[in-house]
């Protein structure tokens, strides 16, 4: 993975020093909370219900084991011994003290990390494919471009006070694991006759008005990426709405102008902009590309007899292999997903001790690198097939061997009303309840791929709009209710789910999910996933099942 | 009234402000340098300029720099208003003034102008500031120079990291 | 009945106002019968170098004591449900038990001046 040079190092040190001074001025009363709030937010520091929350940037979801161990240490030293991985591939600590934050930032800087731009109306952490550099599907490692964007976005002088937050995703695979079409900008790598480039999608997003973003340019030569991003951001900075926080995202501007007119304005700006001064020199692109060179893979046969024998002997390992282990581009290697969704646990949480243990496994078996997925799981991207059984045993020892990736209990849930000051309702207990109901691994495998996503309010941090089943907490006359939606997708076939009907009370949510699964099992044709059946039969049978009692 | 800080050759200092900013309801003074809101400039600017006075224009945060593009050669100053420091539109305006329109007069930041934004102002081409937080020139420059390296091209003459790395 | 809640600036800890001092447990909160007395106390309590997000909450009689009316405020006064050992609930005590048993969920009714505070 990319390593900081002296410039990058100096930058995060300066940033930590700057925030230290800002905190001191706040504590001395020299700046008001109104003035301090955007400054702390630009450092990922929120005030939640019980304490401050610090959101640490994990650029494109890639961590070295040194970094993961540092996070584990921070969890134990400054928090309550755990952290929460988010749908933006970041890590949140929920029990942080303001007075400790400057020291925490120093510790992060010492391992080439920061909390810069994990909140606030600026360009946020770039999302990328957790299987980057490991999947045979991709054109090239999308993290090369993600890192270039990270640097370009860091304290951008023109774009640090945008109308609203701004999220970019980069992927280079036909299978989209970044929810690119639901970002402010989604960049899909393409290989054209002229070389590498990107399909540019602008104006997707969730929240109050969800949109699947339209494509505004089919092919942008990769070497012009920076000047083109600059043109898009400039149009947005000038014309995005600032009078209404709910209409301030770029998706609203794109929807109001129409994708064509928006694209025309971007192209006109791009014509006028000084491209040669903005586009990166080839040498810089190559420098960063070298940072993502493939690790020293061994030459191995495509099949591991040891692994096959171990699977035959251990049914649990075989199940783990079916659900959590995926093909690798290098013969004899595999991509191993680590589920942070053990039924009954908090989705996305890991303790400091678990982080340390995962770092040990990554050092022993995966070139010292760990990935974070937007579905709140972790990935060991380069595991030898020969070693999968050892990894499985290691995960079992720390309670993280759940073989449920993409299954019903692999639920995304935001922190909700247990932590978040903006929430309408709790999300975690709902996720726990559903996961426990479907904890039986056989049942879950029989049901197959099913993505349940839960948000505690319309801000949609839990991506409920794009869940096969989406669950949104609402406040109905002061009580926690949950609105169900069906048919969403965050993948390459992105779609916003449709609302099923009236919201249901908390104790009816799991029953409703159960009823919808019954409908699916009854209606499905061979080989159909839940979402496929829904697409074929429509909303009605599901609706009838859930609201049957009411009739 | 906030004290004016001017940037000259990389040095910041308090400066005497020869300009009077004419509010909408005020009479234009009979002599001296003035800063006019855009609407006033449209009606009165021509006469004042032909009398040989120094004239600046104040743009509200929703007014576009293109609206004064024709007049830039005659304007000695453009004041860009930040009603809230969170309203970042005029960072773009300043860059366009410097980089696209080649404007070399004074670009002044007025309104909720805070030290925490100094680095962004300077990098986007502003060279005069009316800090609302009472910052001194020393504090202002310390904030503007806090970062030893920058990553992007701006309207200033700092080399971004991708250029530094080639040297 | 009302009480005043805030987060302590330095560490974010949830605190309740009681006659000129901030206390860490809801059970120690001063309760106000009259709205204008409560509002006057907020003005005194909301010192920007000490607390953030300071506001009035509704409080109602519950068994042999009081609890915040709003579910949100009850979470704030106790802790997250998924980690019973975290937050104020870890200490236990009569006031915590009372809040945990309180029923009638009313998030929206419990927080005053939300709009004003948010500006
Ligand atoms: S979706 Fe709402 S409740 Fe959940 S974390 Fe985001 S803001 Fe908080």
Are A389 and A330 in a shared domain?
A: yes
Q: Are A57 and A11 in contact (CB under 8 A)?
A: no
- H/E stretch holding B77 reads strand B77-82
Is the ipTM higher than 0.95? The answer is yes
Domain count, chain B: 1
Domain count, chain A: 4
With a cut of 50, say whether residue C116 has pLDDT above it: no
Domain of B128: which CATH number?
Answer: 3.20.20.70
Are A50 and A143 in a shared domain?
A: no
Find the A469 Cα to ligand 1 centroid distance in Å. Answer: 18
Strand partners, A63: A370
Residue A36: half-sphere exposure toward Cβ, Cα within 13 Å: 23
Are A441 and A527 in a shared domain?
A: yes
* CB within 8 Å: B165 and A5: yes
* CB within 8 Å: C10 and A98: yes
The answer to whether chain B touches chain A by having 3 or more C-beta pairs less than 8 angstroms apart is yes
Task: Note the pLDDT tens digit of each residue in B124-148.
Answer: 999 999 999 999 999 999 999 999 9
Distance from CA of C85 to the nearest CA of A (A): 10
With a cut of 70, say whether residue A551 has pLDDT above it: no
The whole-angstrom separation of Cα A531 and Cα A533 is 5
Q: Which of B104, B56, C85, C81 is nearest to A413 (CA)?
A: C81
Confidence category of residue A462, pLDDT binned at 50, 70, 90: very high
Mean pLDDT of A242-265: 97
If you measure CA to CA, which chain A residue comes closest to C69? A478
- What pLDDT sits at residue A549? 67
Confidence category of residue C13, pLDDT binned at 50, 70, 90: very high
Q: Are C68 and C62 in contact (CB under 8 A)?
A: no
If you measure CA to CA, which chain A residue comes closest to C89? A50
Domain count, chain C: 1
* B16 contact A CB<8A: no
Q: Are B115 and B133 in contact (CB under 8 A)?
A: yes
Are A186 and A270 in a shared domain?
A: yes
Task: Note the pLDDT tens digit of each residue in A523-550.
Answer: 999 999 999 999 999 999 999 999 986 5
Domain of A68: which CATH number?
Answer: 3.90.480.20
Contacts of C10 in chain A (CB under 8 A): 27, 97-99
Burial class (CB in 10 A: 0-12, 13-18, 19+), A362: buried
Sign of the alpha-carbon torsion through C15, C16, C21, C27: negative
Range of the domain at B37: 4-164
Residue A494 domain flag: yes
The answer to whether chain B touches chain C by having 3 or more C-beta pairs less than 8 angstroms apart is no
Query: What length is written for chain B?
Result: 167
Confidence category of residue A66, pLDDT binned at 50, 70, 90: very high
Task: Note the pLDDT tens digit of each residue in B38-97.
Answer: 999 999 999 999 999 999 999 999 999 999 999 999 999 999 999 999 999 999 999 999
Query: What length is written for chain A?
Result: 551
Are A389 and A533 in a shared domain?
A: no
**Residue A550, CA distances (Å) to A499, A501, A507, A510, A514 in order:** 17, 11, 16, 17, 17
Choose from A244, A411, A418 for mutation: most chain C CBs within 10 A: A418
Average pLDDT, chain A: 96
Domain of A219: which CATH number?
Answer: 3.30.413.10
Mean pLDDT of A318-337: 98
Range of the domain at A459: 416-550
Concatenated DSSP letters for C71-99?
HHHHHHHH--TT-TTSSGGGG--HHHHHH
Contacts of A52 in chain C (CB under 8 A): 11-12
Task: Note the pLDDT tens digit of each residue in A49-64.
Answer: 999 999 999 999 999 9
Task: Note the pLDDT tens digit of each residue in C33-46.
Answer: 999 999 999 999 99
Are A274 and A139 in a shared domain?
A: yes
Confidence category of residue A92, pLDDT binned at 50, 70, 90: very high
Choose from A158, A234, A266 for mutation: most chain B CBs within 10 A: A158
* CB within 8 Å: C10 and A480: no
At A76, give phi and psi (nearest 5°). Answer: -75, -35
The whole-angstrom separation of Cα A529 and Cα A548 is 24
Distance from CA of A31 to the nearest CA of C (A): 10
Confidence category of residue B2, pLDDT binned at 50, 70, 90: confident
Mean pLDDT of A269-284: 97
Range of the domain at C95: 2-118
Q: Find the largest Cα–Cα distance for chain C.
A: 38
- Sequence-distant (≥ 6) Cβ neighbours of residue A381 within 8 angstroms: A130, A131, A132, A133, A134, A328, A335, A366, A369, A371
Are A266 and A358 in a shared domain?
A: no
The whole-angstrom separation of Cα A186 and Cα A211 is 13
The whole-angstrom separation of Cα B69 and Cα A66 is 53
Q: Comparing A463 with C118, which gets the higher pLDDT? A: A463
Residue A176 domain flag: yes
The whole-angstrom separation of Cα C29 and Cα C88 is 14
With a cut of 50, say whether residue A87 has pLDDT above it: yes
The whole-angstrom separation of Cα C67 and Cα C101 is 9
Confidence category of residue C5, pLDDT binned at 50, 70, 90: very high
Task: Note the pLDDT tens digit of each residue in B80-138.
Answer: 999 999 999 999 999 999 999 999 999 999 999 999 999 999 999 999 999 999 999 99
- Sequence-distant (≥ 6) Cβ neighbours of residue C84 within 8 angstroms: C90
* B8 contact A CB<8A: no
If you measure CA to CA, which chain C residue comes closest to A505? C105
With a cut of 80, say whether residue A463 has pLDDT above it: yes
Hey, which of A84, A119, A415, A455 would you mutate to test ligand 1's pocket, going by the most ligand atoms within 8 Å of its Cβ?
A: A455
* C80 contact A CB<8A: yes
Give the strand order in the sheet containing A45-47.
A45-47, A52-56, A91-96, A82-85, A349-351
With a cut of 80, say whether residue C114 has pLDDT above it: no
Instruction: Give CA A384 to chain center in angstroms.
Output: 26
Instruction: Give CA A455 to chain center in angstroms.
Output: 14
Q: Which of C51, C61, C43 is nearest to C23 (CA)?
A: C51
Task: Note the pLDDT tens digit of each residue in C84-102.
Answer: 999 999 999 999 999 988 8
Concatenated DSSP letters for A246-273?
GG-SHHHHHHHH-HHHHHHHHHHHHHHS
Are A150 and A281 in a shared domain?
A: yes
Residue A145 domain flag: yes
* C114 contact A CB<8A: no
Mean pLDDT of A462-484: 94
Q: Are A15 and A90 in contact (CB under 8 A)?
A: no
Are A269 and A333 in a shared domain?
A: no
pTM, full prediction: 0.95
Q: Which of A465, A462, A445, A457 is nearest to A482 (CA)?
A: A457
The whole-angstrom separation of Cα A180 and Cα A466 is 12
Choose from B84, B92, B93, B95 for mutation: most chain A CBs within 10 A: B92
* CB within 8 Å: C105 and A479: yes
């Amino acid at each position: 993975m990319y390593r900081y040079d002296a410039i990058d190092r100096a930058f995060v040190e300066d940033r930590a020093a700057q925030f230290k001074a800002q905190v001191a001025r706040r504590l001395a009363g020299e700046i008001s909370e109104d003035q301090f709030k955007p400054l702390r937010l630009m450092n990922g520091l929120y005030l939640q219900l019980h304490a401050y929350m610090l959101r640490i940037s994990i650029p494109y979801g890639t961590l070295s084991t040194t970094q993961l161990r540092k996070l584990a240490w921070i969890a134990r030293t400054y928090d309550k011994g755990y952290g929460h991985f988010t749908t933006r591939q970041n890590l949140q600590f929920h029990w942080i003290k303001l007075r400790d934050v400057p020291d925490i930032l120093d510790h992060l800087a010492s391992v080439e990390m920061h909390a810069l731009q994990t909140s606030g109306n600026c360009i946020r952490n770039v999302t990328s494919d957790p299987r980057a550099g490991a999947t045979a599907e991709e054109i090239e490692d999308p993290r090369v471009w993600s890192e270039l964007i990270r640097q370009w976005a860091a304290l951008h002088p023109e774009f640090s006070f945008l109308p609203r937050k701004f999220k970019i995703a980069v992927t280079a695979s036909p299978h989209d694991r970044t929810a690119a079409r639901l970002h402010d900008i989604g960049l899909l790598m393409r290989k054209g006759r002229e070389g590498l480039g990107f399909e540019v999608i602008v104006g997707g997003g969730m929240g109050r008005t969800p949109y699947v973003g339209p494509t505004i340019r089919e092919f942008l030569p990769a070497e012009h990426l920076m000047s083109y991003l600059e043109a898009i951001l400039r149009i947005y900075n000038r014309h995005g709405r600032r009078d209404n926080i709910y209409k301030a995202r770029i998706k609203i501007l794109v929807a109001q102008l129409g994708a064509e007119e928006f694209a025309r304005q971007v192209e006109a700006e791009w014509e006028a902009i000084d491209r040669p001064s903005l586009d990166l020199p080839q040498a810089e692109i190559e420098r960063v590309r070298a940072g993502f060179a493939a690790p020293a893979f061994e030459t191995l046969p495509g099949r591991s007899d040891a692994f096959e024998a171990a699977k035959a002997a251990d049914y649990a390992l075989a199940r783990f292999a079916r659900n959590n282990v995926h093909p690798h581009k290098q013969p004899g290697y595999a991509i191993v997903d680590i589920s942070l969704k053990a039924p009954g646990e908090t989705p996305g949480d890991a303790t400091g001790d678990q982080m340390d243990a995962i770092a040990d496994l990554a050092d022993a078996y995966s070139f010292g690198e760990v990935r974070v997925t937007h579905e709140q799981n972790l990935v060991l991207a380069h595991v030898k097939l020969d070693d999968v059984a050892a990894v499985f045993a290691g995960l079992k020892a720390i309670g993280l061997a759940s073989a449920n990736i993409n299954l019903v209990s692999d639920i995304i849930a935001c922190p909700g009303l247990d932590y978040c000051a903006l929430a309408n309702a709790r999300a975690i207990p709902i996720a726990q309840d559903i996961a426990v109901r479907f904890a039986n691994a056989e049942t879950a495998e029989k049901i197959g791929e099913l993505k349940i996503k839960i948000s505690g309010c319309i801000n949609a941090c839990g991506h409920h709009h794009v869940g096969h089943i989406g669950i949104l907490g609402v406040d109905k006359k002061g009580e926690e209710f949950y609105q169900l939606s069906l048919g969403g997708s965050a993948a390459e076939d992105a779609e916003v789910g449709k609302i099923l009907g009236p919201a249901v009370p908390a104790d009816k949510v799991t029953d409703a999910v159960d009823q919808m699964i019954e409908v699916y099992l009854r209606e499905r044709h061979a080989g159909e996933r839940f979402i496929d059946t829904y697409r074929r039969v429509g909303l009605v049978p599901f609706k009838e099942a859930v609201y049957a009692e009411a009739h | 009234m906030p004290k004016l800080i001017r940037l000259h050759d990389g040095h910041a200092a308090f400066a005497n402000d020869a300009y009077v900013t004419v509010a909408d309801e005020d009479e234009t003074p009979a002599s001296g340098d003035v800063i006019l809101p855009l609407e006033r400039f449209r009606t009165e600017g021509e006469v004042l300029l032909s009398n040989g006075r120094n004239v600046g224009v104040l743009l509200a945060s929703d007014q576009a720099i293109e609206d004064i593009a024709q007049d830039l050669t005659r304007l000695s100053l453009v004041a860009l208003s930040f009603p809230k420091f969170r309203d970042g539109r005029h960072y773009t305006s300043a860059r366009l003034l410097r980089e696209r329109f080649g404007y070399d007069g004074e670009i002044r930041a007025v309104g909720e102008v805070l030290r925490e934004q100094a680095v962004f102002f300077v990098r986007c081409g502003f060279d005069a500031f009316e800090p609302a937080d009472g910052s001194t020139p020393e504090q202002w420059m310390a904030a503007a120079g806090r970062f030893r390296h920058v990553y992007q091209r701006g309207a200033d003459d700092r080399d971004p990291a991708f250029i530094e790395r080639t040297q | 009945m009302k009480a005043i809640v805030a987060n302590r600036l330095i560490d974010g800890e949830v605190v309740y106002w009681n006659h000129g001092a901030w206390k860490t447990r809801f059970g120690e909160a001063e309760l106000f019968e009259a709205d204008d007395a409560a509002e006057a106390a907020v003005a005194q309590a909301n010192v920007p170098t000490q607390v953030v997000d300071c506001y009035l909450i509704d409080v109602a009689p519950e068994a042999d004591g009081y609890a915040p009316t709003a579910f949100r405020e009850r979470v704030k006064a106790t802790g997250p449900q998924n980690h019973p050992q975290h937050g104020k609930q870890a200490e236990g005590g009569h006031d915590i038990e009372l809040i945990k048993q309180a029923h009638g969920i009313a998030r929206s009714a419990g927080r005053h001046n939300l709009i004003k505070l948010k500006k």
